[in-house]
Amino acid sequence: MDWMTLVVDYGTRLVFAIITLIVGFPIIKLITKIIGSRMEKSKLDESLKPFLLSVISAILKVLLVITVIGILEVPMASFVAVIGAAGLAVGLAFQGSLANFAGGVLLLTLRPFRVGDYIEGGGYGGTVKAIQILYTELITPDNKVIFIPNGSLSNAGIVNYSVNSTRRVDFTFGVGYEADTQHVLQSLESVVNSHSAVLQDPEPFIRLSSHGDSAVEYTVRVWVNAEDYWDVHFDILEQVKTKFDQENISIPYPQMDVHVTNQ
**What are the boundaries of each domain within the chain?**
2-93, 103-160, 166-261
- For residue 202, whether the previous peptide bond is cis, meaning omega lies within 30 degrees of 0, is yes
Give the torsion through C-alpha atoms of 80, 81, 85, 87, to 10 deg: 10
Buried b or exposed e, range 204-231, using 16+ CB within 10 angstroms: bebeeeeeeeebbbbbbbbbbeeebbee
Residue 17 neighbours by CB distance under 10 Å: 19
Query: What is the CATH architecture of 166-261?
Result: 2-Layer Sandwich (3.30)
- CATH class of segment(s) 2-93: mainly alpha
Q: Which of 4, 95, 217 is nearest to 103 (CA)?
A: 95
Q: What is the predicted pLDDT for the residue at 3?
A: 65
Q: What is the predicted pLDDT for the residue at 87?
A: 54
Dihedral sign for Cα atoms in the order 64, 65, 69, 75: negative
Q: Which of 127, 206, 201, 213 is nearest to 162 (CA)?
A: 127
Q: What is the predicted pLDDT for the residue at 263?
A: 46
CB 241 within 8 A of CB 181: no
β-strand partners of 259: 172
φ, ψ at 44 (rounded to 5°) = -65, 145
Give me the helices (H) in the chain, please.
Answer: 2-41, 48-71, 76-93, 95-110, 150-154, 181-194, 229-246
Within 8 A by CB and 6+ apart from 154, the residues are 102, 103, 104, 106, 107
Fold matches, 2-93 and 103-160: no
Q: Check: CATH 2.30.30.60 for 103-160?
A: yes
Within 8 A by CB and 6+ apart from 169, the residues are 221, 222, 223, 224, 229, 232, 233, 236, 260, 262
Q: What is the predicted pLDDT for the residue at 120?
A: 92
Q: What is the predicted pLDDT for the residue at 1?
A: 46
Q: Kindly give the parts of the chain with pLDDT less than 70.
A: 1-4, 6-8, 43-48, 74-96, 254-263
pLDDT by residue (tens digit) across 136-167?
999 998 999 999 998 888 888 899 988 898 99
β-strand partners of 128: 138
Q: For residue 203, give the DSSP letter.
A: P
User: What is the helix (H) or strand (E) element at residue 164, kind and residue range?
Assistant: none
Cα-only R_g, the chain: 30
